Structure 1
Amino acid sequence: MNKKIGNISLLILYLIVLNNISQSFYQRFDLTSDKRYTLSETTKSIISKVDNTLYISVYLEGDFPSEFKRLQAETRQYLEELAAENSNIKINFENPDNQREDLIKRGMLPSQLTVEEDGKLSEAIIFPWAEVTYGKKSTTVSLLPNAIVASQDEQLQKAIENLEYSFSNAINSITQNKQKKVAIITGNGELQDIYQYSFLSEVAKKYRLAKFTLDSVATNPQQTLQDLTGLDLAIIAKPTQKFTEAEKFTLDQFIANGGKTLWMIDNVQADQDSLFTSGKMLAYPRDLNLTDLLFTYGVRINTTLVKDLYSAQIPLATGKVGNQTQFQNLDWFYHPLVGGNPNHPITKNVSPVRLQFANQIDTLKNNIKKTPLLVSSLLTQKVGTPNFIELQSIADEVIETDYKSGNQLFAVLLEGDFNSAYKNRVKPFETSLFKENATNNKMVVIADGDVGKNQILKGKPTDLSRDKWTNQSFGNKDFLLNTVDYLLDDSGLIKLRNKTLQIRMLDKQKAFQERTFWQFLNVVLPLLILFGFGFGFSYLRKRKYS
């Protein structure tokens, strides 16, 4: 008896020790082939800096399509990995039905989905959003990519692929104490603030914005260069006036000292508003005196316009019914709708970008790595300038053989060691900051000054992602924001956008056709087996003991 009591006591003691050990050592195992739930080192580094409670509220709760139950489950799994890595992260799934108006006011717009179930189509509204709160700061996370996809399954796959980047980016931006500085260059007829509001207001949520005029170069060039080199990125958006040599030298030395640059350049004078006013305009080359500067870095923006059969639409008056003017949206080939590089994090899963009277870029051989970002379709035509452009040409019959210029490059990423354009030249002014080359720098050149220009409605700026007249959606804002993030990213965060997963989706058509077989297999057959087992057991028992 004493021996049994001793064995039981040892067993209880063993279980207590084992339980304590199991609580001290916690490990999750990712058995998926693509390591879907394994956090990247970048993400681990970001969430390791969360030293206070960080709340994540996800509005994927309630009655919504079965496909998006998958997105809900994948989101929950991923966030559980974050919470397991850092106990300061708290997760909450909320039903948005009782707070729809409040969510919409905070910028979380619902998505209307077409759902196919049992061969029937129906409409459903969901709020694919999450909100991250850290102290007094908060930001939103979109769980559905704003990309053109062939099916809802493809949309779901892109959404799941984008989970790590979306949440890591949000957590990184909300927990950073020191923000990088972005200069909006002025002084050479660049776009007014109101036309850049949609783009820059989003940039201001993550970075410190500062308007920087180059006018002071004429009076105090050394101090101007000193001030500019204290910033991290310079945005040059559609300059219309010629740069002086001293101004070019200032930008060149900003780059040589490690500054990043985003160029949005029109090398042709062509404006849509003047075309609508008179129905005809003269498009002619614009001399910005930047050709030699960009040539040194490895690109040349030509003075030709590109027409593309794959284009955005513009509204035109086509007649009257009574006293009401009738408008129709027609394809305008001078507004190319261009696709992004699917293999680069700046443009992956980004909707086509609308350009307006864009120029074509040539790349030159040097030691700089050049990555195409925006490229036209194959069906293009080059239009030399100067040239008259008439609005009525939109009605001309399309002859496809005239559109055989092939793919045209509109935006390119340059990375590497940039040589100064003034390396072996006379310098406009002397400065102690002069450097002959920049080490491991990067810039993006876009051959369209209007790529970041939003429209104005009743005196207020509209969203850059949507056309106020045609209601078409574009990827301009996402493309530019990704570009800024990439240029300023030192942690490798933006590369998470290239994450690719293999999501195995249900074949709905096959499941619908074979539904009777699978219903029988999963519901009826188990009952038949159970009934047969019960009948057989009862029969054998009676036979044995009768």
Structure 2
Amino acid sequence: MTKRKNIIYSSLVVAGLLIILNFIASVFFLRADFTEDKRYTLDRSTKRILREVEKPIIMTLYVSENLPPDVNRTVQDLKSLLTEYNHYSKRKISFEYVNPNANEDLEKEAVEAGINPVPLEVREKDQIKVQRVFLGMSIQVGDQSEIIPLIKPGIIMEYTLSTLIKRLTIKNKPKVGYIIGHGEPELAKMEQAIKELSILYDIEPVSLLSQSNLTDYKSLLLIGPMATISTSQFRRLDNYLAQGGNLFIAIERVNGMLNDGIGVSVDTGLEKWLLLKGIHVDDSFIVDKKCGTVTVHQQGYFSFPQQINFPFLPVISNFSNHSITDGLETVVLQFASPISYLGDTLLEYKPLAYTSSISGKLKAPISFNIGRVWRTHDFLFPEITVAATLKGKMGGEKEARICVIGDGNFIVNGVGDQKITIQPDNINFIANAIDWLSDDSGLMSLRTKGVESRPLNELTDGKVFMLKYLNFLLPLVLLITYGLIRFRRRSLRRSKRMKPGFIK
């Protein structure tokens, strides 16, 4: 009887402890994340967005059952993520899970929401079958909604979810002005950048000649001007900065015309205006051994395309510690120019990005030779600054900010047949820069979460030569050394045996 009482007592104690632990877990959310990039920990930007949620958010996950393990793992991670979102939003987010394959009504509901089935290969009993599955979700706030038509396996969903929530809950977007009238690229040619910036800001074209009040804009963008900017327009920019304005400049100091085989300097007056602020942008072409490639067609009996390294396309992976560059891995530039600071210490100058340790610069004008053999003496200027910020009082009592990068085309996609896809970190750079200029953390730290690029370090020609012959000669040297040691030991043993009185 006593033993039975002990069992009942122990069971009650265990049950009580489980109830208490469950209550504590429902009040205090705790999760351990041991991944290098903290992919299972909500970013500070996400937590800030969720704290600012006022209206209830309804998330509906349309997912089929019996999915392959890799896809199902992504779905389970998403469900755990939604639980965290609900916690940090103080229960303002509710979510439900729907299996559209269960019946026709649910399938119709998913399709009407904008989520269509996709074919997915599933292995069953050593056979591969293709079945129609649903992998999407909708997010609704009031009468507004956004959808994720396809949840791609293996991707981190936090940025997508937080972006859509921010877009649905933001009240009044700050205005960012895009300066036009000097040969700048059209907004349509910067599709990726404008799409990203439009999440948090309203992008509007601005003419310095006709716009009445520049202070309406949180920041101004001046991207790749090619025509002369008048003194009166620079005066307007000075007045804007004196009132605490913020300016992002992508300057096209040199122009590489590959079709003509030449590269020339560009003079718009912007370079002189920046020099008055202490920022010198040299009319030189940066060359870097760590670079992108161009496609050339080799001629012979057959014509075939070949990828050739082109040092005029520097690949930037060396960044300083700054909120703009937080999490960036790789920015690719084209025909970039060096940036340096010649001003005084009254303003705070901060370099943001540098070339590799094997880089150089060529003064414009130059002639391009795709087949040029690059030597060590072509890369005598390591770690050239290609982007920087300037902060302080610029003619007024309020603090102004400038961010400048020495490439006017680093976010230009182009249009039609000339359209290209821009490196994601190029877009992240300008988006983070506008957030910093506008004094808004926005999605700054979240944009680069989960981005992993681990490029190989570039080696100098001397190191390559040394490693090449070290790999070739070292095994031979070790083998010869081992042979000499064995020969010496055997010689000593033979001499010892030949001595009088030797007994084995």
TM-score interval, normalised by the smaller of the two chains: 0.5 to 0.7
Q: What residue in structure 2 maps to residue 409 of structure 1? A: 385
Q: In structure 2, how many angstroms separate the alpha carbons of the residues matched to 1:36 and 1:313?
A: 32
2:176 is equivalent to residue 182 of structure 1: yes
TM-score, reference length from structure 1: 0.62
**Which amino acid in the other structure matches residue 91 of structure 1?**
F
Sort the Cα spacing of 1:107 and 1:332 in 2 relative to 1 into closer, same or farther, 3 A.
farther
Q: Secondary structure at the match of 2:353?
A: strand
- Structure 1 residue 289: Cα displacement: 1.8
**Which amino acid in the other structure matches residue 30 of structure 2?**
D
- Structure 1 residue 144: Cα displacement: 10
Of 288-297 and 441-450, the range deviating more from structure 2? 288-297
Please list, as runs of the form range in 1=range in 2, the aligned pairs for 1:41-440 lying within 5 A after superposition: 43-56=46-59, 72-84=75-87, 85-92=89-96, 132-139=139-146, 167-216=161-210, 224=211, 226-271=212-257, 275-276=258-259, 278=260, 280-281=261-262, 283-319=263-299, 325-339=303-317, 341=319, 343-364=321-342, 365-387=344-366, 389-390=367-368, 393-414=369-390, 416-420=391-395, 436-439=396-399
User: Paired residues, what number?
Assistant: 409
**Which amino acid in the other structure matches residue 288 of structure 2?**
D
C-alpha distance after superposition, 1:139-159 (max 9, x if no partner) = 5679999xxxxxxxxx97xx6
Q: Secondary structure at the match of 1:406?
A: coil
Q: Secondary structure at the match of 2:182?
A: coil
Q: In structure 2, how many angstroms separate the alpha carbons of the residues matched to 1:336 and 1:96?
A: 49
C-alpha distance after superposition, 1:445-474 (max 9, x if no partner) = 01101112113334xx73532xxxxxxx55
Of 227-236 and 311-320, the range deviating more from structure 2? 311-320
Sort the Cα spacing of 1:256 and 1:187 in 2 relative to 1 into closer, same or farther, 3 A.
same
C-alpha distance after superposition, 1:107-137 (max 9, x if no partner) = 99x9x9xxxxxxxxxxxxx999865443454
State whether residues 33 and 41 of structure 2, in contact with CA within 8 Å, keep that contact through their aligned partners in structure 1.
no
**Which amino acid in the other structure matches residue 49 of structure 2?**
I
Sort the Cα spacing of 1:132 and 1:142 in 2 relative to 1 into closer, same or farther, 3 A.
same
Please list, as runs of the form range in 1=range in 2, the aligned pairs for 1:5-24 lying within 5 A after superposition: none
**Which amino acid in the other structure matches residue 482 of structure 1?**
N
Q: In structure 1, how many angstroms separate the alpha carbons of the residues matched to 2:301 and 2:138?
A: 48
Sort the Cα spacing of 1:203 and 1:403 in 2 relative to 1 into closer, same or farther, 3 A.
same
TM-score, reference length from structure 2: 0.67
Q: In structure 2, how many angstroms separate the alpha carbons of the residues matched to 1:288 and 1:338?
A: 26
Q: Secondary structure at the match of 1:332?
A: strand
Sort the Cα spacing of 1:96 and 1:249 in 2 relative to 1 into closer, same or farther, 3 A.
farther
**Which amino acid in the other structure matches residue 32 of structure 2?**
T
- Structure 1 residue 264: Cα displacement: 0.7
Q: In structure 2, how many angstroms separate the alpha carbons of the residues matched to 1:228 and 1:386?
A: 36
Q: What residue in structure 1 maps to residue 436 of structure 2? A: 486
Percent identity between matched residues is: 23
**Residue 416 of structure 2 is aligned with which of 446, 457, 478?**
457
Q: Secondary structure at the match of 1:200?
A: helix
2:432 is equivalent to residue 476 of structure 1: no
Q: Secondary structure at the match of 1:262?
A: strand
State whether residues 380 and 407 of structure 1, in contact with CA within 8 Å, keep that contact through their aligned partners in structure 2.
yes
Q: In structure 1, how many angstroms separate the alpha carbons of the residues matched to 2:365 and 2:194?
A: 33
Mark the runs of 5 or more structure 1 residues left unpaired by the alignment: 1-14, 113-125, 146-154, 217-223, 421-435, 466-472, 501-546
Q: In structure 1, how many angstroms separate the alpha carbons of the residues matched to 2:48 and 2:58?
A: 18
State whether residues 417 and 437 of structure 1, in contact with CA within 8 Å, keep that contact through their aligned partners in structure 2.
no
Sort the Cα spacing of 1:481 and 1:302 in 2 relative to 1 into closer, same or farther, 3 A.
same
State whether residues 184 and 235 of structure 1, in contact with CA within 8 Å, keep that contact through their aligned partners in structure 2.
yes
Of 307-316 and 186-195, the range deviating more from structure 2? 186-195
Q: Secondary structure at the match of 2:282?
A: strand
State whether residues 388 and 403 of structure 2, in contact with CA within 8 Å, keep that contact through their aligned partners in structure 1.
yes
**Which amino acid in the other structure matches residue 261 of structure 1?**
L
- Structure 1 residue 384: Cα displacement: 0.9
Sort the Cα spacing of 1:139 and 1:350 in 2 relative to 1 into closer, same or farther, 3 A.
farther
Q: What residue in structure 2 maps to residue 431 of structure 1? A: none
Sort the Cα spacing of 1:462 and 1:90 in 2 relative to 1 into closer, same or farther, 3 A.
farther
State whether residues 353 and 476 of structure 1, in contact with CA within 8 Å, keep that contact through their aligned partners in structure 2.
yes
**Which amino acid in the other structure matches residue 442 of structure 1?**
R
Q: In structure 1, how many angstroms separate the alpha carbons of the residues matched to 2:32 and 2:421?
A: 39
Q: In structure 2, how many angstroms separate the alpha carbons of the residues matched to 1:384 and 1:52?
A: 58
State whether residues 339 and 384 of structure 2, in contact with CA within 8 Å, keep that contact through their aligned partners in structure 1.
yes
C-alpha distance after superposition, 1:470-498 (max 9, x if no partner) = xxx55323332333333334356524568
- Structure 1 residue 233: Cα displacement: 1.6
Sort the Cα spacing of 1:313 and 1:57 in 2 relative to 1 into closer, same or farther, 3 A.
farther
Q: What residue in structure 2 maps to residue 30 of structure 1? A: 30
**Which amino acid in the other structure matches residue 308 of structure 1?**
D
State whether residues 413 and 442 of structure 1, in contact with CA within 8 Å, keep that contact through their aligned partners in structure 2.
yes
- Structure 1 residue 293: Cα displacement: 3.2
Q: Secondary structure at the match of 1:394?
A: coil
Q: In structure 2, how many angstroms separate the alpha carbons of the residues matched to 1:400 and 1:343?
A: 29
Q: Secondary structure at the match of 1:239?
A: coil
**Which amino acid in the other structure matches residue 452 of structure 1?**
I
Sort the Cα spacing of 1:194 and 1:31 in 2 relative to 1 into closer, same or farther, 3 A.
closer
- Once superposed, what is the RMSD of the aligned Cα atoms? 4.5
Mark the runs of 5 or more structure 2 residues left unpaired by the alignment: 1-14, 121-132, 451-504
Sort the Cα spacing of 1:240 and 1:40 in 2 relative to 1 into closer, same or farther, 3 A.
closer
C-alpha distance after superposition, 1:310-350 (max 9, x if no partner) = 1111222212666xx43222221111121263744433444
State whether residues 320 and 353 of structure 2, in contact with CA within 8 Å, keep that contact through their aligned partners in structure 1.
no
Sort the Cα spacing of 1:42 and 1:206 in 2 relative to 1 into closer, same or farther, 3 A.
closer
Sort the Cα spacing of 1:190 and 1:40 in 2 relative to 1 into closer, same or farther, 3 A.
closer
Sort the Cα spacing of 1:284 and 1:68 in 2 relative to 1 into closer, same or farther, 3 A.
same
State whether residues 336 and 376 of structure 1, in contact with CA within 8 Å, keep that contact through their aligned partners in structure 2.
yes
